């Protein structure tokens, strides 16, 4: 018996190869120099790596082919999720320039380590978006998660960051173990690790096999941990608040894009014939997540915790698209994932800036009177909040309309109603932030420069309005906010892009 190596399509794997090389380069380049010089050089290599990977993804746009003996599949859905992750990572690199945990690490290679871990997580997201096999699915999920555990705890001089890293590690490991146990049951019932093989088996006699039903339940619970879907969301507010803000921004956006992509492949494709078994369960999870997320955000004074609970509610909205189990649902999901990135990143950017400008950290007092003090930042934060609330004229409004349409078309009208109710509740806490920005006077600094007991505050106010770094961060923030409005008024380019991703799933057997 001879071993036959699988055919390797290097063009299809080119984004993965570019990111792999980028991880190595970031580590090696980070060994040379220190301080400002190191930051500039490492950032050039990091952004160059992400730009190269994005260019290769665009080059492969429109392709639909299997890679490495069917373990991976590159198509428009995988490329769309990868591009969202890449853009999120590229946005967060400038934010890390002002992060104390990167500026003053325990070792001499802070920026190199940070960006290597960031790119490594993007690599895991790229692989999980392409996963077409249970084993590749799980390995890619761990490659995505492990760097995030480290990044969350990277601010080693802050107790909250270490706590968030430990919490994320423990809860993430529990979620991974639950998912792996569920995948084992799915394999035991179907006798195959390939999604196509699982689909063929589920479409046959095993559709009512108890092993399969247990596997679906455990896999859904494990993925719910990763996606911050209630009631598996308890870690989210604590980790979001404790982690360095650039890491929180990346984790909040990119993780959802990649994991929801594999959720679509796993449930809508591999377990498609068993849709009657998992569809009601995911619908219940989505509804609970909408209620819990919006209710939990109402009383939050920490902006990062508020956005954490907001993310729980938003994950519930996105789960509705998976429940729809249709091409329209996948297209609505991809559109909303891109919109979610545009809506969230400006908010986290403003929080990052205000953490270094004021002694209030991520407390809502940090943005009191921002409209008078920093009108450009205030405008970006306002657009972000209004878009997350789903007000007309923003991309969030269009995204929610598509999600509701997909729910109604799939006879889950009550889920569409839940989205509308959740949107109305969310106005209370999103508009509270807007009111703080424009209707309150600036919060008074503590006398004598003493720092209040608010986590994450800077003991010395930082003049963030000066310097190249600040202009880059402000420019990226305003660009994302402008895109939020542009695609809310003229959504056609983003709609067409998302529709191509939905067609790639509809084309599968």
Looking at residue 395, its pLDDT comes to 94
| Structure token digits, residue 227 | 């996606």
Q: What gap in Å lies between CA 444 and CA 447, rounded to an integer?
A: 9
Q: How far apart are the first and last CA of the chain?
A: 32
Break the chain down into helix, strand, coil percent, rounded to 5.
75, 0, 20
429-434, long-range: CB < 8 A, 24+ apart: 429/294, 429/297, 429/298, 429/300, 429/306, 429/310, 430/310, 430/385, 430/386, 430/388, 430/389, 431/385, 431/389, 432/364, 433/303, 433/306, 433/364, 433/367, 433/381, 433/385, 434/381, 434/382, 434/385, 434/386
**194 bridge partner residues:** 133
Looking at residue 205, its pLDDT comes to 63
Q: What gap in Å lies between CA 289 and CA 228, rounded to an integer?
A: 8
Strand, helix or coil for residue 353:
helix
User: Domain residue spans in the chain?
Assistant: 10-443+462-506
Contact 256, 229 (CB under 8 A): no
Strand, helix or coil for residue 141:
helix
**302 bridge partner residues:** 363
Q: What one-character-per-residue DSSP string does 438-469 give?
A: HHSPPPPPPGGGPPPS-TT--SS---TTSSHH
> Counting Cβ atoms within 10 Å, is residue 258 exposed (0-12), middle (13-18) or buried (19+)?
buried
> Counting Cβ atoms within 10 Å, is residue 469 exposed (0-12), middle (13-18) or buried (19+)?
middle
* Max Cα-Cα span within the chain: 80
Q: What one-character-per-residue DSSP string does 196-264 give?
A: HHHHHHHTTGGGG-HHHHHHHHHHHHHHHHHHT-TTS-THHHHHHHHS-HHHHHHHHHHHHHHHHHHHI
Cβ atoms within 10 Å of 68's Cβ, excluding its own: 18
**10 phi/psi in degrees, rounded to 5:** -70, -30
Strand, helix or coil for residue 38:
helix
Looking at residue 465, its pLDDT comes to 38
Q: How high is the mean pLDDT in each 10-residue block of the chain (509 residues)?
A: 73 92 87 72 89 93 86 91 94 79 47 88 94 92 92 83 88 92 92 88 75 91 91 90 90 92 91 87 94 92 93 94 90 94 93 86 88 90 94 93 93 93 93 91 60 44 52 88 93 92 72
**66 bridge partner residues:** 73
Handedness of CA 255, 331, 53, 134 (dihedral sign): positive
Q: What gap in Å lies between CA 237 and CA 308, rounded to an integer?
A: 5
Strand, helix or coil for residue 348:
helix
Contact 290, 315 (CB under 8 A): no
Looking at residue 466, its pLDDT comes to 46
Cβ atoms within 10 Å of 128's Cβ, excluding its own: 31
Q: Which residues, 6+ apart, have CB-to-CB distance to 92 below 8 Å?
A: 118, 246, 247, 249, 250, 345
Query: Token match 């001089």: residue?
Result: 157
> Counting Cβ atoms within 10 Å, is residue 414 exposed (0-12), middle (13-18) or buried (19+)?
exposed
**65 bridge partner residues:** 74
């Amino acid at each position: 018996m001879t071993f036959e190596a699988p055919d390797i399509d290097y063009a299809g794997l080119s984004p993965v190869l570019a990111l792999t090389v980028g991880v190595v380069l970031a580590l090696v380049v980070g060994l040379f120099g220190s301080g400002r010089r190191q930051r500039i050089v490492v950032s050039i290599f990091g952004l160059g790596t992400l730009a190269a990977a994005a260019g290769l993804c665009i080059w492969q746009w429109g392709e639909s082919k299997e890679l490495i003996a069917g373990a991976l599949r590159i198509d428009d859905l995988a490329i769309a999720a990868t591009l969202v992750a890449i853009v999120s990572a590229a946005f967060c690199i400038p934010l890390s320039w002002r992060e104390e945990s990167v500026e003053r690490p325990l070792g001499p290679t802070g920026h190199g380590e940070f960006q290597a871990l960031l790119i490594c997580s993007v690599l895991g997201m790229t692989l999980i978006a392409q996963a077409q096999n249970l084993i590749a699915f799980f390995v890619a999920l761990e490659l995505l998660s492990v760097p995030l555990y480290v990044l969350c705890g990277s601010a080693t001089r802050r107790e909250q960051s270490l706590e968030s890293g430990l919490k994320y590690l423990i809860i993430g490991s529990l979620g991974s173990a639950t998912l792996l146990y569920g995948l084992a049951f799915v394999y035991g019932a179907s006798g195959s690790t390939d999604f196509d093989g699982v689909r063929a088996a589920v479409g046959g006699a095993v559709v009512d096999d108890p092993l399969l039903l247990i596997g679906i339940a455990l896999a859904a619970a494990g993925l719910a941990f990763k996606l911050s879907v209630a009631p598996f969301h308890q870690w989210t507010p604590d980790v979001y608040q404790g982690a360095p803000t650039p890491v929180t921004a990346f984790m909040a956006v990119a993780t959802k894009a990649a994991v929801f992509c594999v959720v679509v492949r796993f449930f809508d494709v591999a377990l498609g014939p068993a849709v009657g078994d998992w569809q009601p369960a995911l619908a219940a999870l989505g509804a609970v997540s909408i209620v819990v997320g919006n209710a939990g955000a109402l009383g939050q004074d920490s902006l990062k915790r508020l956005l954490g609970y907001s993310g729980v509610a938003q994950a519930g909205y996105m789960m509705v698209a998976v429940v729809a189990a249709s091409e329209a649902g996948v297209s609505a999901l991809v559109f909303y994932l891109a919109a979610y990135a545009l809506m969230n990143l400006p908010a986290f950017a403003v929080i990052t800036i205000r953490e270094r400008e004021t002694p209030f950290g991520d407390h809502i007092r940090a943005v009191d009177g921002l409209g008078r003090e920093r009108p450009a930042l205030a405008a970006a934060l306002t657009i972000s909040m209004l878009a997350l609330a789903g007000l007309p004229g923003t991309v969030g409004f269009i995204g929610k309309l598509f999600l509701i349409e997909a729910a109604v078309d799939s006879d889950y009208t009550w889920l569409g109603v839940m989205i509308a109710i959740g949107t109305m509740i969310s106005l209370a806490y999103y508009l509270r932030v807007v009111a703080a920005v424009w209707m309150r006077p600036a919060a008074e600094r503590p006398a004598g420069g003493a720092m209040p007991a608010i986590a994450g505050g800077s003991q010395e106010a930082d003049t963030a309005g000066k310097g190249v770094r600040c202009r880059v961060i402000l420019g990226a923030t305003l660009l994302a906010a402008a895109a939020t409005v542009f695609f809310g008024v003229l959504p056609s380019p983003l709609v067409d892009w998302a529709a191509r991703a939905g067609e790639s799933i509809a084309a599968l057997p």
